[in-house]
Amino acid sequence: MNDVILGGAAELALGTAVIPASLLGDITPNFTEGTRSSETLGGNRTTPSGRFDESTLTFTLFVPSMDYLKAIWADLYSAPTGTGTAGHLRFGAGSCSSKDPVTANIHYVCDDNSNNDQHFFRTLVAMNWNPTINATDGFSVEVTVYVQPNDDLDYFQLGAGDLTQETLWDAATQTWIPVGSS
């Protein structure tokens, strides 16, 4: 058994975009199972409910340019036209967008397979804008992603992507691919 504790540089695939470790701060999945409380003649009993009260993924993104934010909010992005070199994102009540769920996958970059991945089947990225702008830190924004259940009512998977062979998550094709096939 390997007694080395997991850690190190990790990348985050969000839909087809892969955010490198060099642009990520903390990544915090938060899944909290709800409870049921019953007041019985023998006392109060609390048991797990079998459903999540919270299912979020929060991460800090260090922003290299405003144009890079298209990786997070692709549905709000307008690409440059003419001789423009950058697009823009518009937030507001008049910004009509329907969010399409995207997958999210956390992968330790030094791992050569998906055995330690955290995979989130369907996620919706919140349109929150809360940048950190100060004299000591790089420009960053905290991104909140709401994890949704898939058709099988699964929210996330920890570990190997495929039980029959060594795989890696391929964000471009949104599939697990055999190691060495990319």
DSSP 42-69: TEEEEEEEEEEEEEEEEEEEE-S-GGGG
Question: How many whole angstroms separate alpha carbon 75 and alpha carbon 84?
Answer: 19
What pLDDT sits at residue 92?
A: 74
- Domain span at 68: 20-33+47-163
Mean pLDDT taken over the chain:
90
pTM of this structure: 0.88
pLDDT value of residue 132: 85
Give per-residue pLDDT as tens, 92-136. Answer: 766 565 678 999 999 999 999 999 999 999 999 998 888 988 899
What is the pLDDT confidence band of residue 165, given thresholds at 50, 70 and 90?
Answer: very high
E strand or H helix at 78: strand 77-78
Q: Does pLDDT of 24 surpass 80?
A: yes
Residue 81 domain-assigned? yes
Q: Is residue 99 part of a domain?
A: yes
What's the total number of domains in the chain?
A: 1
The stretch 38-53 carries a mean pLDDT of 89
Q: Per the domain annotation, does 124 fall within a domain?
A: yes
Q: Does the pLDDT value for residue 2 go beyond 80?
A: no
Rounded to a whole number, what is the distance in angstroms from the first to the last CA of the chain?
29
pLDDT at 60: 95
Give domain status of residue 107, yes or no.
Answer: yes
In a domain, 177, yes or no: no
